[in-house]
Each structure stands twice: as structure tokens, then as C-alpha cells.
């Protein structure tokens, strides 16, 4: 049977992708950001999974105000890096896992979560920047990736509670897939940032670090945080953090069966463009 071995959490920022693609990672501004992912890249090499289930948000790239799925699962065989205005990032195409993705869709939808099935989709910085941070600049990504897009851009957005419960349903779905696959689940986006309006540039280090603490220690309680608290405390784009609860909900301990996860790595840095960068690696025991 397939199993979830670990979860990875990381912010995404378009400028991080640009810094990598333009060879600026050693510049003084960026060096401390990328230093925080050196350990992560080694960990990825040592713990390469068979599949990554990557929870992220599309930024009006594949979807627009014309169509806004709350939860969308990518079932295609491959996904191209999106053109977000400066041409597609020079990164490998994403190879999907249609069999596992279809199985998860079947299981999760029958578990009462209404997913949108996506068979053609370009993937934006929300997905490619986390892959770059964790994997560097390989000729091909190390394994197939199932993109799972969450609407955190246009209100109404899903609650943290629903995201957390969805993670539990995804865990059950993966555990019932009849192949011995090691699967990582990634929750991406966040941490505190606001890109527009009078509060543009908002960063809240206290909130971010309390979120990291509680995500590790008591995610069920954290899942009850109302969406308005994210917006007030972490800025309008801080709501991206609810996606981390999907990945955390898929870990063994929240289903009552497993032991607490091991914190393999934790990193926090300000600034990266307008965003506080947070990062965690949790391993199932
Ligand atoms: C920035 C952060 C984001 O999450 C995003 O989607 C776009 C821009 C930023 O900090 O510049
Ligand atoms: Fe974003």
C-alpha cells in the first residue's frame, strides 16, 4: 500500500524563482533565504519519494475570475510551467501521476469533499518555486508530482478546519492505493504577507512563529482559527497558510494512530520580497 512518509511546508514567492533562474542566489539579499534550504535539498536527495502530492494555490494563472474551483486535483500525465508575464520559468515540466491522482479523487470525493478534476493545467510559481527551493535546478524533477490547487485568492476561501479534514481524507485515500509508493505531501504558500492596500508590506513574525509552533504541536486546535484572523494578523495573502493544514491533516498522528512527527527542519527568514519565508519538514514515525 502507498504511505505518506513526510510533509514539507514552505512559502512561495515569485522573486525567489527569479533569483534562482537569474543566478542571484549568492547575492547578500538572497543568500540567507537559500541557506535555509541547503539542509532541505540534502534531505530531499536522501529521502526522495515516489510521488509528491503538492498542495498550492494558483494565482489567477490557470484559473481566473471566470472559473474558481475551491479544490482542484491535477490528474494529467504532465503539467507545463506557466507563463506569468515574463515567459515560462526555465524549469522542468511536471510529470503527474494519473493513476494515484484518479484514485485519490475517487476516494476523497466519495468521502464527501467535492474536488474539481483537472486534466489540463499550467502550473505557476505557487508550485514551481517550492520545487525549486527543495530540489535546486535539476534537469528533471526527482519524481512525479500531483498538483492540488486550493482557492485562497478569491473569496470565499475554504476554512482551515475544512482543509485539515480534507488532509485526513487524502491520507486515507493514499493509504488505500494498492502500490508500495512513498508519498510526500507538501503544504505551500504563506507566511505573513500583504501585497496591496494601505497595509502592503505587513509582516508579523510573532504570528508566524506561533503558527509554526501550533502546526507542529496541536494542528487540530490551529485548524479552528477563523479565516479573518489570518487576514488581520498575517495580511490578506497570509490566508495562503490554510493550505499547510491540508498537509498537516494528512500526517499519521492526527488520525489517532501514529506517533507525533519528527521535526526534521525548521527555518524562518524575513524578508523575501514582501513575504516572510517559513519552512518545516515533518517526518512520520
Ligand atoms: C509575493 C508573494 C506571493 O505569495 C505571491 O503569490 C506573489 C508575490 C511577494 O512577496 O512578492
Ligand atoms: Fe502567493
Domain range enclosing 224: 3-283
- Note down pLDDT in tens along the chain; length 285 residues: 999 999 999 999 999 999 999 999 999 999 999 999 999 999 999 999 999 999 999 999 999 999 999 999 999 999 999 999 999 999 999 999 999 999 999 999 999 999 999 999 999 999 999 999 999 999 999 999 999 999 999 999 999 999 999 999 999 999 999 999 999 999 999 999 999 999 999 999 999 999 999 999 999 999 999 999 999 999 999 999 999 999 999 999 998 778 999 999 999 999 999 999 999 999 999
Ligand 1: residue of 10, 11, 14 to mutate (most ligand atoms within 8 A of CB) is: 14
CA of 109 to the centre of ligand 1 (A): 31
**Residue 39: what pLDDT?**
98
Q: Give the ligand whose atoms come closest to the C-alpha of residue 192.
A: 1
Q: What DSSP line would sit under the chain, residue for residue?
A: --EEEEEEEE---HHHHHHHHTT-TTSTTTHHHHHTTHHHHHHHHHT--SEEEEEE---SSSSBTTB--SEEEE-SSEEPBPBSSS-B-SSPPEE--HHHHHHHHHHHHHTT--PEEESS--B-HHHHHHHHHHH-S-SS-SS-EEEEEE--SSSSPPPHHHHHHHHHHHHHHHHT-SS--EEEEEEE--SS---SSTTTT---HHHHHHHHHHHHH-HHHHTT--HHHHHHHH-GGGGGGHHHHHHHHTSGGGGTSSPPPEEEEEEEEEEETTEEEEEEEEE--
pTM of the model: 0.98
Q: Whose CA is nearest to atom 4 of ligand 1?
A: 13
Query: CA-based Rg of the chain, rounded to a whole angstrom?
Result: 17
**Residue 97: what pLDDT?**
98
CA of 219 to the centre of ligand 1 (A): 25
Q: Whose CA is nearest to atom 2 of ligand 1?
A: 13
Looking up residue 104, the CATH number of its domain turns out to be 3.40.830.10
Q: Give the ligand whose atoms come closest to the C-alpha of residue 152.
A: 2
84 lines ligand 1 (CB under 6 A): no
**For residue 194, cis peptide bond before it (omega within 30 degrees of 0):** no
124 lines ligand 1 (CB under 6 A): no
Give the C-alpha separation, 164 to 126, whole Å. 20
**Residue 255: what pLDDT?**
81
Catalytic residue of the set 12, 97, 103, 125: 125
What's the domain count of the chain?
Answer: 1
CA of 178 to the centre of ligand 2 (A): 34
89 lines ligand 1 (CB under 6 A): no
Residue 51 and residue 144 in contact, taking contact as beta carbons nearer than 8 Å: yes
Q: Which residue has the cell 490528474?
A: 75
CA of 195 to the centre of ligand 1 (A): 7
What are 64's strand-pairing partners?
A: 67
Catalytic residue of the set 12, 59, 103, 193: 193
The reply to whether 125 belongs to the active site is yes
194 lines ligand 1 (CB under 6 A): no
Amino acid at each position: 500500500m502507498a504511505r505518506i512518509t513526510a510533509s514539507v511546508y514552505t512559502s512561495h514567492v515569485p522573486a525567489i524563482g527569479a533569483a534562482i533562474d537569474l543566478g542571484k542566489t549568492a547575492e547578500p539579499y538572497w543568500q540567507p533565504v537559500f541557506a535555509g534550504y541547503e539542509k532541505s535539498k540534502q534531505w530531499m536527495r536522501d529521502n526522495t519519494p515516489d510521488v509528491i502530492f503538492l498542495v498550492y494555490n494558483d494565482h489567477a494563472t490557470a484559473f481566473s475570475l471566470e472559473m474558481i474551483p475551491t479544490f482542484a486535483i491535477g490528474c494529467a500525465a504532465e503539467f507545463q510551467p506557466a507563463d506569468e508575464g515574463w515567459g515560462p520559468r526555465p524549469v522542468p515540466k511536471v510529470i503527474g501521476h494519473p493513476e494515484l491522482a484518479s484514485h485519490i479523487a475517487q476516494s476523497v470525493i466519495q468521502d464527501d469533499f467535492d474536488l474539481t478534476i483537472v486534466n489540463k493545467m499550467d502550473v505557476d510559481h505557487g508550485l514551481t518555486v517550492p520545487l525549486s527551493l527543495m530540489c535546486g535546478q535539476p534537469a528533471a524533477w526527482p519524481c512525479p508530482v500531483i498538483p492540488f490547487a486550493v482557492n485562497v485568492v478569491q473569496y470565499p476561501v475554504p476554512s482551515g478546519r475544512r482543509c485539515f479534514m480534507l488532509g485526513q481524507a487524502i491520507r486515507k485515500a493514499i493509504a488505500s492505493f494498492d502500490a508500495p509508493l512513498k508519498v510526500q505531501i507538501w503544504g505551500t504558500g504563506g507566511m505573513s504577507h500583504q501585497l496591496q492596500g494601505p497595509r502592503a508590506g505587513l509582516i508579523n513574525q510573532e504570528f508566524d512563529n506561533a503558527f509554526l509552533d501550533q502546526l507542529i504541536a496541536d494542528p487540530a486546535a490551529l485548524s479552528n482559527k477563523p479565516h479573518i484572523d489570518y487576514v488581520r494578523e498575517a495580511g490578506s495573502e497570509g490566508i495562503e497558510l490554510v493550505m499547510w493544514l491540508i498537509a498537516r491533516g494528512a500526517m499519521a498522528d492526527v488520525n489517532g494512530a501514529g506517533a507525533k512527527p519528527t521535526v526534521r527542519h525548521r527555518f524562518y527568514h524575513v524578508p523575501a520580497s514582501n513575504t516572510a519565508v517559513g519552512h518545516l519538514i515533518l517526518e512520520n514515525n
